[in-house]
Structure 1
Amino acid sequence: MRIIFAGTPDAAVPTLRALLASSHEVALVITRPPARRGRGKTLYPSPVAEVAARAGVEVAETTTLKSTQIGERIAAVDADLGVVVAYGGLIPPAVLQMPTHGWVNLHFSDLPRWRGAAPVQWAIREGDATTASCVFRLEEGLDTGDVYSRVEVRIGRESAGELLDAMAQAGASQVLDVVDGLQAGTAVAVAQSETGITHARRLEHADGYVSFTRSAEEEDRIIRSVTPNPGAYTILPGGTRMKLGVATPVERDDLEPGQLEITKKQVSVGCSGGALVLGQIAPAGKSWMDAAAWARGARPDDTMRFGGVMGDGQ
C-alpha cells in the first residue's frame, strides 16, 4: 500500500515508525509547522517531522489541508490509503476522497464516547474504568466513521500523559493490522452506536485548577487529567499559584477543605471528602520539588489554606 501519513505529536510517532518498518510505502508525511518552545521561543519541528526527515520521507508542514496547493500535492502522491494519528486539523471532503481506500484514524477513546481533541484526558477526568483505542474510517463528521478495530484499555492511576503514551505504543500494531486487512480485502468496519455519544473538548489552563472543595478522588482525577498539559495548580493565600504534580488520595475526615497537615515526610491537604497527599509541587517562579521539602522551607502556619472557590483576582 502506498500511504500518506498525517500526524504531529509524540503520540503519532509509534504508528509512523511501524508503517516505515512495514512492507508498505510511506510516500508523504503531513504534519503541523514548527512550533516555538522553551524560554528562547526557538522553533522546533514536530516529533513526526523529525522522524520522517530521518527516514528520508517527503514532509509537508501545513496548518490546513484546504488550500489548493496542498490538495494538489496530496493528489500527486496517488496514494492507496491515508493514515491519521493526532494531526491537529480537519481533512476536507475533497482530500478524504483522494486515496483509493480513503483515510483511517487511530483515536484514543472507546467511540462514540469521547469524540474530539482530548479523549484520554476526559476519560480520566470523568472516572471511566476503561477506555479503548479505535481505528476508524474518516468521514466529514467529527470522529463519526465506522470502526475497523477496537482494543479495550483499563484505566488505573496513570496520568493522561502516561496513558496516552501507552496507548500510542499499543495502537501502532493495531493500525498496521487494519492497513494489512485493507490491502487483503478482509477489513470490516462496524458502524458506531447512536447512543453513549460524548465529546472531549481540549482542556484549557482553567481546567487544571484544584480547589480542594471536591472529594479527594475527584481532585485526583482532575490533576491526572491535565498532567503533563495544561498542568494542575492551586491558589495560595495572597493569590499566588502553585503547580501540582500527581498526588495520592487517602481516606480521612479530620481535615477541612484546603487545610494542611505537615509532617517530616509529607504534606496532606483536606478535601470535601478525604485528603490528597501531595507529590511534586512547583511554587511560583521555582522548580519542581517534593512537597515536604517546600514545607520545610516555607514553614506555613496552621491557618494556611490551599484553594477554595476561585475569585475574580485568581
Structure 2
Amino acid sequence: MKIVFMGTPDFAVPTLDALVKAGHEVGLVVTQPDRARNRNQVTYSPVKEAALKHGIDVLQPEKLSADQDTFESIESFGPDAIIVVAYGQFLKKDMLDLPKYGCLNVHGSLLPKLRGASPMQQAILEGDEETGVTIMKMAEGMDSGDMIAAAATPVDHKNFEEIHDELAAMGAKLLVDVLPTVEDGTAMYTPQNEDQATFAGLIKKSDGRIDFSRSAEEVDQLIRAFDPWPGAFCQLDGKTVKFWKAESMSVNCSEPAGSIVKADEDGLCICCGGSILCVKELQMPGKKRVACGDFLRGHKIEKGTLFN
C-alpha cells in the first residue's frame, strides 16, 4: 500500500516502524512542527526522528486544515491510505476523502468508550478492568468513525507508561494485520454506538493533586494514571511531594484523611477516605524518586503527620 503517515508522540512510532517493516510504501510523514523545549532547545517530535531514520520526507504544517501546500503534496503522492496515530490536529473532509481506502486511525481505547485526548490515563483513573486499541476509519466527528478491529488487555495494576507501551505495540500489530483486509475488501466496518460513547479530555498539571478524601483505591489509580506526567502530588510542611508507587489496602481507617498511620521501610501508610494507601516511592522537589525507606532516612515523619 502507498501510505501517508500522520503522528507525533512516542505512541505513534511503533506503528510507523511496523508499516515500514511490513513493506508498505510510506512516502510522506506529517507531524507537528518542531517545538522549543528543554531550555529553549528546538526538538523534533519522536515521529519525525523515526521518519528521518527511515529516510522518509517529513511535512510539518502549523495548521493542517489551512495548509494547501501540504494537501497538494499528499494529493500528488496519491496515497491508498492515510494512517493517523496521535497526530494532534483535526483532518477536514477533503483530507478524509482523499485516499482510496480513507484515513485509518489507531486509537488507545476500546471505542466507543473514551474518545478524545487521554484515553489510556482515563481508563486507569476510572478503574476499568481492561483497555485496548481500536482501528477505525476516520469520520469528521472526534473518534467517531466506523470500527474495523480492536484488541484488549487487562489494566491490572499497570501505570500509564506500561499501558502506553503495551497499547502502542498492540496497535502497530493490529493495524498491519488489518490493512490486507482493507485492501482486498473483506474488512468489516462497524458503526459505533453513540449511546455508549464517553470522552477523555486533555490533562492539566493541576489534575495530579491528590484528594485524600477519596478512597485509597482511587488515589492509587490517580498515581498510576499520571506516571510519569504530571505526577500525583500533595503538600508536606509546605513542600510539594510526589507519590510514584503505592498500594491500596483493604483496611478501614478512622483517622483524618491524609494522616500517616504508619511509616517504615515497607511504606508510608496514609488514611484515605476511610481506607489505607501504602506509598512505596516518593519524590521531593529537585530530588530523584526514592523508595520509602530512603525517603525516611532523610525525613523524620511520625505517626499523625498530615499530608494535604
- Decide: shared fold, TM above 0.5: yes
Residue in structure 1 matched with residue 163 of structure 2 by the alignment: 163
Residue in structure 2 matched with residue 285 of structure 1 by the alignment: 286
Judged with a 3 Å threshold, the aligned counterparts in structure 2 of structure 1 residues 160 and 63 are, in CA distance, closer, same or farther, namely farther
CA distance in 1, matches of 2:228, 2:15: 22
> Does residue 233 of structure 2 align to residue 233 of structure 1?
yes
Could you tell me whether the CA contact under 8 Å between 2:3 and 2:25 is conserved in 1?
yes
Query: Which whole-Å deviations, capped at 9, do the CAs of 1:280-301 have from their partners, x for residues lacking one?
Result: 2111232222222222212124
CA distance in 1, matches of 2:285, 2:248: 24
CA distance in 1, matches of 2:299, 2:202: 35
Could you tell me whether the CA contact under 8 Å between 1:259 and 1:306 is conserved in 2?
yes
Residue in structure 2 matched with residue 299 of structure 1 by the alignment: 300
> Does residue 270 of structure 2 align to residue 273 of structure 1?
no
- Helix, strand or coil at the partner of 2:157: coil
> Does residue 212 of structure 2 align to residue 212 of structure 1?
yes
Q: Which amino acid aligns with 1:190?
A: T
- Helix, strand or coil at the partner of 1:305: coil
CA distance in 1, matches of 2:273, 2:140: 44
CA distance in 2, matches of 1:99, 1:208: 41
Shift of 1:224: 1.1
CA distance in 1, matches of 2:206, 2:250: 27
> Does residue 45 of structure 2 align to residue 46 of structure 1?
yes
> Does residue 109 of structure 2 align to residue 95 of structure 1?
no
Shift of 1:78: 0.9
Query: Which whole-Å deviations, capped at 9, do the CAs of 1:117-163 have from their partners, x for residues lacking one?
Result: 01111111011112231100111000000001011222111111210
Query: Which whole-Å deviations, capped at 9, do the CAs of 1:27-48 have from their partners, x for residues lacking one?
Result: 101111223343x332221111
- Helix, strand or coil at the partner of 1:279: strand
Q: Which amino acid aligns with 1:244?
A: F
CA distance in 2, matches of 1:196, 1:145: 14
Could you tell me whether the CA contact under 8 Å between 2:34 and 2:45 is conserved in 1?
yes
List 4+ stretches of structure 1 deviating above 4 A. none
CA distance in 1, matches of 2:277, 2:85: 35
Query: Which whole-Å deviations, capped at 9, do the CAs of 1:183-240 have from their partners, x for residues lacking one?
Result: 12211211111321111001111211112211100111111111112221112233x2
1:1-314 map, 5 Å: 1-38=1-38, 40-66=39-65, 67-238=67-238, 240-254=239-253, 255-260=255-260, 261-307=262-308
- Helix, strand or coil at the partner of 1:152: strand
Q: Which amino acid aligns with 1:215?
A: S
- Aligned-residue identity in percent: 34
Q: Which amino acid aligns with 2:44?
A: P
Higher strand share: 2
CA distance in 2, matches of 1:174, 1:63: 30
- The number of residues matched between the two structures is 305
Could you tell me whether the CA contact under 8 Å between 2:15 and 2:168 is conserved in 1?
yes
Structure 1 vs Structure 2 CA RMSD: 1.5
Shift of 1:276: 1.5
Could you tell me whether the CA contact under 8 Å between 2:264 and 2:292 is conserved in 1?
no
Query: Which whole-Å deviations, capped at 9, do the CAs of 1:93-135 have from their partners, x for residues lacking one?
Result: 1111111111000011111110100111111101111223110
Could you tell me whether the CA contact under 8 Å between 2:6 and 2:85 is conserved in 1?
yes
TM-score, structure 2 normalization? 0.94
Shift of 1:24: 1.5
Shift of 1:303: 4.2
